[in-house]
Amino acid sequence: MVFSILSHLANILFNLVFWKIFATYTTNVDFNKMFAYSMMTEGITSIIMIQGGSPTRVGRIVRRAVQDGSFSSYILLPYNTIRHTYLKGLGLSIFNITFGILEIIIAIIINFASISPLSVFYFILSLILAIWMSLILNMFEGALSIVYTEASGIKNALAHIQRLLSGRMIPISLFPILLRMIAQYSPFSITAYIPAQLIFNQIEEGNITSYLLIGLLWCIFLYLLVHLFWKSSLKKYEAYGL
Amino acid sequence: MDFKEKFKTTLRIIVPGIKYSIQKETAYVANNIGNTFSTFFYTLALVLFIDIIYTNTDNFANYSKDEMLIFTVVGQAGFYALFIFYNLYSNFDNIVRRGQLDMILVKPIPIVPYLYVTQMNLIQSLRDGVIPILLICTKIEFTHVNITIGSFIWFLIIFLAGLIIANCIHFLGASSSLITKASNKLFWTIHLVFFKSSNKIPFEGYKKIFGKVIHLFFPVFLLTGISSSVLLNKVNGCVYTFLSIIICIATVIVSNIVFNTWLKKYSSASS
């Protein structure tokens, strides 16, 4: 518990130092806004269970269960496996989720002036999509583990792409134009950048619906795809480690 | 076991130990490919990150873009060098809790070298580390940075000292499970501090924010921050080299004493 708090605090401290230096050496960047953005994206990714360098808590549960053989008992239980592992992940992530909520509260306090009731409403809508997208990424990692047994490498590759294209490393608005276009309309932006920009009223009124709609379409499309992959993975699953 | 015998036994277990760890590393083909993709995307993300920073500024913590790329190369080299033994540190509490340590302790072999050689990620570190580092190097204009033979020699010594210190601290953090039975969170916190301190922000950046107080955390910054500052002739290499050697020797002695004390206090954790 103490070390979990310490690692979260260290993460916040490093973010603070980075943005402080960045704001010192650039003229078009406001430190408070950037730090609030950074805290907000960290908080969002914590509560949707995409954390740190090793994300996707639910995917990890499936991966480890496949490796130690306990996955067989998961699929024998009269529950929906995805729901079961998701709720288990939720329980295991409760500390990170609590800390994520604290990070969001701090971000709101720092940049309170930019927030309105409507922006909070849009934020909640986007957060629902972010949770859905996170579930899809989790399912994808889980399905990969069922097929390949050890899929941490692929998971890490996905994590790095997510970290960059979701705007967690640096806001997408600071990207070069071409990369900005790719990142904004990628499925990853809904997991951090879009909710953070929505709550701080950084997206123009006319574009809000289109961003949310694109997020929703990505969620539906990828959910169907990953769901099929999950089902076909289960068919291929051979009990391992028993 | 006297020192000579210990040394001979260590040499004998190195080759089979490395063979065993390589077999473990290469067991899952898809995962190996995945890891290669993972480091490729990480490097791509890092380079893009630096590009994005320098589209907004010409100077970050008194580092030009080429200097920042050098800092990144040093950071990556440090990370992958540290990663060779990452498996041991992250698995240490499992080794203790599952009773594997008890089985190792009854063997007539030196425990620390045995643990290191059987848990190393040598191939993975080389495979994942070398190509991305070379790729970043291709983006550097070496004529734009101030590197001399002298600064390179100081850098190598500091980097090595930093690596030994980082390994000692990681090892101590992980082996604290001998007395606490759960060291993973402590290890992870240590790793996060080392990783973050060698990533994104040069030592000069920390100095600008925290002033001289940052020198209290000197060992954490040796591996990347200070070594790259010395390499780029931004600080006096001679002073830092001397300090790093002293701290390195002290860390090795202290960690050896602490580990042996914990080992004496260790009572079997497995059921």
pLDDT, tens digit, 9 for 90 and up, residues A47-97: 887 765 444 567 778 877 887 777 877 778 787 888 888 888 788 778 888
- Confidence (pLDDT) at A120: 92
Phi, psi (degrees; rounded to nearest 5) at A202:
-95, 0
A-B CB pairs within 8 A amount to: 118
Confidence of residue B112 (pLDDT cuts 50, 70, 90): confident
- Asked whether the predicted pLDDT for residue B203 surpasses 70, the reply is yes
* Among candidates B40, B60, B196 on the partner chain, residue whose Cβ is nearest the Cβ of A21: B60
Phi, psi (degrees; rounded to nearest 5) at A149:
70, -55
- Confidence (pLDDT) at A228: 93
Which segments of chain A have a pLDDT < 70? 51-57, 239-242
- In percent, the amount of chain B with pLDDT more than 90 equals 16
DSSP A71-113: HHHHHHSSS-HHHHHHHHHHHHTHHHHHHHHHHHHHHHHHTGG
For the ranges A68-82, A135-149, B88-102, B141-155, the maximum mean pLDDT occurs at B141-155
Residue of A67, A97, A32, A102 lying closest to A240 (CA atoms):
A67
* Among candidates B35, B51, B206 on the partner chain, residue whose Cβ is nearest the Cβ of A156: B35
Q: Could you give the angle at the alpha carbon of B94 between the alpha carbons of B221 and B266, nearest 5°?
A: 85
- Confidence (pLDDT) at B127: 80
Comparison of pLDDT for B8 and B164, the residue scoring more: B164
The ranges assigned to domains in chain B are: 3-265
For the ranges A200-214, B50-64, B94-108, B213-227, the maximum mean pLDDT occurs at A200-214
The structure's pTM equals 0.81
Residue of B nearest to A14 (CA): B196
Burial of A59 (0-12, 13-18, 19+ CB in 10 A): buried
Q: What's the complex ipTM?
A: 0.74
Residues of chain B numbered 58-117 and touching chain A (CB < 8 Å): 59-61
Rounded to whole angstroms, the Cα distance separating A163 from A50 reads 10
Residue holding tokens 């050496």?
A25
Q: Average pLDDT in the B128-142 region?
A: 86
User: Chain A contacts of B193, Cβ < 8 Å?
Assistant: 10
Q: What residues in chain A have their Cβ under 8 A from chain B's Cβ atoms?
A: 2-4, 6-7, 10-11, 14, 17-18, 20-22, 24-26, 28-29, 52-53, 148-157, 159-161, 163-164, 169-170, 174-176, 179
- Confidence (pLDDT) at A129: 94
- Asked whether the predicted pLDDT for residue B270 surpasses 60, the reply is no
B143 has a chain A CB within 8 A of its CB: no
User: Chain A contacts of B197, Cβ < 8 Å?
Assistant: 14
- Asked whether the predicted pLDDT for residue B43 surpasses 70, the reply is yes
- Confidence (pLDDT) at A56: 57
